[in-house]
Structure 1
C-alpha cells in the first residue's frame, strides 16, 4: 500500500436519505469494515441483519433531546479529526479510549425539501442539522486520513475503489470528496441563512449573505464554447419556470437556452391566462414579439408578425397549455424551445416530429407579483436585489397631457408596459390591439431605441404590403422616463397616439409640452422597469 492510500477499517454511517444504504453497508461489512451508526440508520442496519454498533458505544452517552444530541462528543470527533501520524494525537486517542473513524457517511436532514414544501416554521427548524455538518466538516478537514461521503450517488464509486485498491481509498478521491463535503455544507447553511433572512423584517441588508445550490445539470459550455458552465438549482419554494420544468423531448438545454427560456416565461407570466391567451417569443433574452388573443394560435401569429426574422431560432413561451393547433403553427419554423404550463397529448405528438425541439412543461406560471431576489456576480462581489415584482395593473396611471387616452389606448398602454418590463433597457415598445409591432432594446440612447422600434414597425408594414407603418395608431411604452423630448417625438413621427412612461425627469414639462403639441395622450406610472 502506498503512502497515498488510506485503509478503511471503521465507518460511521448517519443518513437521512437511506437510498442504497443497506446494500452499501453490507458491502462494507463484507470487506471486514466495522460499522457504527446512529438512530434510524442504526435501526435500519440492524433490521437488515448487519453487525453495527451504536454511536453511544463510542460516546458513553445515549442519544437525547429527540436526537438533537448524539454525535457532538470527543468520542466521535476525536476519531474523525485525529492525525494518524501525529504521536500526540495518537497518545490522546489511547488515553481516552477513542477509536479512529476512516470513513464517514452522512447526508443531512432534508431542510431544503422542507422549506421547498413550505412547511410550518417549527418543522423547518427541526430539519436544521447540527451534528451532521459538524461531522462532515471535521472529516473533510482531515481528508488526509478520512474519506467523507455526503452523496448516495457516490456509493458505487467508493465500493469500486475499495475493491480495486485492497480496501483503501486514494488521496485524489479523498480530496474530491472533501471538496464536495464542504460545498454541501456551505450550500446547506446558505439555504438556512437565506430562509431566515426572508423571515426577518429588517430595513437594511444583512451583513453577510451566502448563496448555494445543488448541481442539476452540467452544460456543454457557457455563452461561448470556450466557457465552462453548469446549472445549479437553489432551494426553497419552487417558482414555476425553466429551473423546475419537465423536459419531454429535445436536445439538452444549453446555457443560452436556460437564460432565454427564463426570460420568455417570466415575460408571458405577466398575462393572466384566465383573461387571455398570450405568447412571448424571445431571442437573446429580449422579447422580439409578444401578443395576447382569444387563442394561442392567434396570439402566436401576432407575436411572430412583429419580427419573424428574429423569431427564427427563438424561444416560444405560452401562458396556457399548448394545444394542437398552436403546436402545428409553432413547429413550422425553427424554434429552440417551447415552454408552457402543460400540453395536450396531440400537441405533444406534433412537437415530437421535431426531435431536437425542446418541450418544457412547468405545471404552472410564476407569479409576477411574488417577492424574491436576483443575484449577479461582478468582479470581487455580488449584486443582490429584490425581484421586480411591480405590475402595471397595480399602478396608478396619471394622465399628464391635455388629451386622455381612449379605453382602447389604455388597454394597449398596459399591454405595452407589461412587455417593456422584460425588454433590456433602454426599452421602447410599440403595441397595437394587444400585440407588439416594434421593439427597441438595449440601446445606449433612448432615442435610438425609439428609432429602432419605429423601424421594426415600418419593416412589418412592408412585409404585409401595407403603405403605413404598423406604428401608426399604436401606443408606445418606455421603461424609464424620456430625458428629452426627442425620443417621444420619434414615436410621434412614427405615428404613435399614446405614451406610457414612468415620468420623473427634470425635463418632464418639456416632454409633456411636446406630447401636447403632437396631440399625444400620455400617462405616467411613477415606477420604472430598468432591466440590464
Structure 2
C-alpha cells in the first residue's frame, strides 16, 4: 500500500533546521551531531548529552535556555514543557498553530533524537525495586510519541542504526526528508515505546506477584527476515526478546546458509533438550527432527554420545538437528559429517572441528556461550484464534528422592538412572510421549499420537526396525526402561511396553485406575515409580 503525504502539505519534503538531542546511549552520537551541524542544523540538548556535545566543540543550546526552566527534581523534569512539545507537535501549515507558535515564541523542532533510560539493563543487573522505578523514562517516551505523531513534519530517531540513513536522506534531498522516510522512523519509534512499556509492565507484574495481569504485552527485536515460514507460501521473521538465555537466538553462526523458520524452531528444541544433561556429568547428544527427538544419549566421549543417539533412529536422523552439551571436537565433527545434517549447535567448537565442517558448506554450525538453565523461570506463549495462551516455562525437575516406588519390585540403581534419563527426554517429546531408554541412550521414541498405546507400539516398532538395520538379534528395547509423559489411564499401554521388553516404568501417576495399572505391573514383574509431575508438550 502506498501512503501519500497529508493533503495540507504542499510537498512531502520537510526541511530540517533544528534538532533536539537527548540520549542515554551515546554510541555514535558525536559523528552524527557533527554531520547535522555541518549541514546547518541547529542543535538543542539536555544534561549529559549537551555537555558531551559542547566538549566536542559543537555549538549546542541547552533546553533549559529554551524553556526558561532549569532541570529539576534530579532530572525528572526537563523536557515536559510547551516550548518543547509545541515545537514537536505544531502543524507547520496550520494557521492557528503557526500563530500560537509566534505568540508564545515557540520554535519548530524538525528532528528528535532520543533513546531511553536503560530500564531493561537495570532490571537484568538485579537492581532493587526503587532503582528500577527510577530508571523508567518519562520525558523520552513523551517526546518520542509527540514527534512520531507529527511525522508529517518531524523526523524522530530512536536507534543509532538510523543515524547514517538520516544523513544520507538529507544529502539526497537538499537538507530535507521525505514523508515516506519519516513514516518509517515514526513506526520504529512507536515500536520502541511499545516494547519499553511492555518491559516495564511485565517487570512490575512480576514484582507484584501478578501471574495473570489484566493486560499482557510482549515485544521483540527483528533478528532476521526469513525466506519463508513453515511452508513457502508463508512469510516469516525471527525476533529476539532481549534475554541472555543461551540458545539459537544468542548463538554465533560460523558457516552455512541462513537458518530457516523450521531450522530455528528445531534447533531451539534440540538445545533445550540437551541442556537437561549437565556436562559435568558427561557428554550428551540430542538429535531432533520436526521438533521431536529421534535419538538422545550420554557417552564416555562426545562421539560415543552421538553414535548412541544416532543408533536410536538412523532414518529419522537424516537431515536432522544435532545438539551437544559440550564443545564440539574434530572426531565428533567427522562422525556427524557421515550423513546429511541441517544444523549442529554446541556450547563451543574447536578449530579442528570447524575445519572439518568447512567442507560441508550447507551445514550450519552454531555455538553459544553456555547451555540454557532447564530450571530457570520464564514465560512461553502461543497464539490461538482471538488471543494467546501464556504459561510458565516447563522447568520441572525430578530427582531420585522424588520418586515413589509403587510396585512390589523396586527398580535397580541402573534402572533408576535410565528412568530419570527417559523422564528428561519425555519432557521434550510431543504428547502422547513414550520413551524407551537402555544404558543411557534412547532406543525407541513414540511421539504425538492420539493414543498412548499407539505411541508405545510405534516406539517399540522403531526399535525393532533399528535392530534389524544394525544386524542385532533382538530389538534394542529388550531390557529397557520406559517413560510416559502422563499417566497410563488403563493397563494396556503399560502391558504393551512390557511385551516389548521394558523392565521398569516411570510415569506421573494420578489416574483413577492407578491401582489396576500397578497390579498389571506387578503381574508382569515390572518395577514402577511415580513422579507426581506431568510433562505434556503440545
Taking structure 2 as the reference length, the TM-score comes to 0.95
Deviations 1:206-248 (A, max 9, x none): 1111111211222222111221211111134x11111111222
What value does the CA root-mean-square deviation take over the aligned residues? Answer: 1.7
Alpha-carbon displacement from aligned partner over 1:510-529 (angstroms, at most 9, x marks no partner):
22222222221111111000
Equivalence map 1:120-159=2 (5 Å): 121-159=129-167
CA distance in 2, matches of 1:295, 1:220: 37
Matched, 1:511 2:517: yes
Q: 1:274 is paired with a residue of what secondary structure?
A: helix
Match of 2:75? 67
- In structure 1, C-alpha distance between the alignment counterparts of 2:360 and 2:30, rounded to whole Å: 44
Deviation (angstroms), 1:64: 2.2
Compute the displacement of 1:291 (Å): 0.3
Deviation at 1:90, TM superposition (A): 2.2
**CA-CA distance at 1:348 after TM superposition:** 2.1
Q: Once the two structures are superposed, what CA deviation does each residue of 1:272-311 show, in whole Å capped at 9, x if it has no partner?
A: 1111211001111111000011211111100000011111
Match of 2:289 among 244, 269, 283: 283
Structure 1 equivalent of residue 327 of structure 2:
321
Report which stretch shifted further, 83-92 or 136-145: 83-92
Name the SS of the counterpart of 1:253 in structure 2.
Answer: coil
2:93 is the alignment partner of 1:85: yes
Question: Alpha-carbon deviation of 1:97?
Answer: 1.4
Question: Where does 1:209-228 land on structure 2 (aligned, <5 Å)?
Answer: 209-228=216-235
Listed as ranges, the gaps of 5+ residues in structure 2 are: 1-8
TM-aligned CA deviation for residue 116 of structure 1: 3.6
> Which of 452, 476, 491 is the equivalent residue of 2:482?
476
Query: Structure 1 CA distance, aligned partners of 2:134 and 2:362?
Result: 45
Does 1:30 pair with 2:38?
A: yes
What do the CA deviations read for 1:133-171 (whole angstroms, capped 9, x no partner)?
Answer: 110011111112211111111122222222222222122
- Equivalent-residue separation in structure 1 for 2:319 and 2:126 (angstroms): 38
Q: Relative to structure 1, is the Cα distance of residues 278 and 189 closer, same or farther in structure 2, using a 3 angstrom cutoff?
A: same
Q: Which residue of structure 2 aligns with residue 433 of structure 1?
A: 439
SS in 1 for 2:402: coil
Asked if structure 2 preserves the Cα contact closer than 8 Å seen for 1:447 and 1:490, the reply is: yes
SS in 1 for 2:321: strand
In structure 1, what is the Cα distance between the partners aligned to 2:321 and 2:361?
A: 16
Conserved 8 A contact 1:395-1:525:
no
**Structure 1: runs of 5+ lacking an equivalent:** none
**2:451 corresponds to which of 445, 449, 463:** 445
Contact 2:148 2:189 in 1 (8 A): yes
Q: CA deviation at 1:193?
A: 1.8
Distance, in Å, in 1 between the alignment partners of 2:445 and 2:86 is: 65
Aligned residues: 530
Asked if 1 retains the 8 angstrom alpha-carbon contact of 2:314 and 2:466, the reply is: no
Indicate the larger mover: 364-373 or 191-200: 191-200
Shift of 1:118: 4.0
- 1:174 aligned residue (177, 182, 193): 182
Matches within 5 A, 1:33-52: 33-52=41-60
1:343 Cα deviation from its structure 2 partner: 1.7
| CA–CA distance in structure 2, aligned partners of residues 394 and 227 of structure 1 | 45
Q: Deviations over 1:261-280 (max 9, x none)?
A: 11111101111111121100
Q: Give matches, 1:339-378, under 5 Å.
A: 339-378=345-384
Q: Which moved more, 1:49-58 or 1:193-202?
A: 193-202
Aligned-partner SS, 1:452: helix
Change (3 A) 1:395 1:380: farther
Matching of residue 384 in structure 1 with residue 362 in structure 2: no
**Deviation at 1:111?**
2.3
CA contact (8 A) 1:38 1:55 kept: yes
Q: Which residue of 2 aligns with 1:231?
A: 238
Partner Cα distance (1:294, 1:209) in 2: 46
Runs of 4+ in 1 over 6 A off after TM superposition: none
Instruction: Answer whether contact 1:368 1:389 (CA < 8 A) is retained.
Output: yes
Q: Deviations over 1:24-61 (max 9, x none)?
A: 22222222222111122212221222222111122111
Q: Do the aligned partners of 2:400 and 2:416 also contact (CA within 8 Å) in 1?
A: no
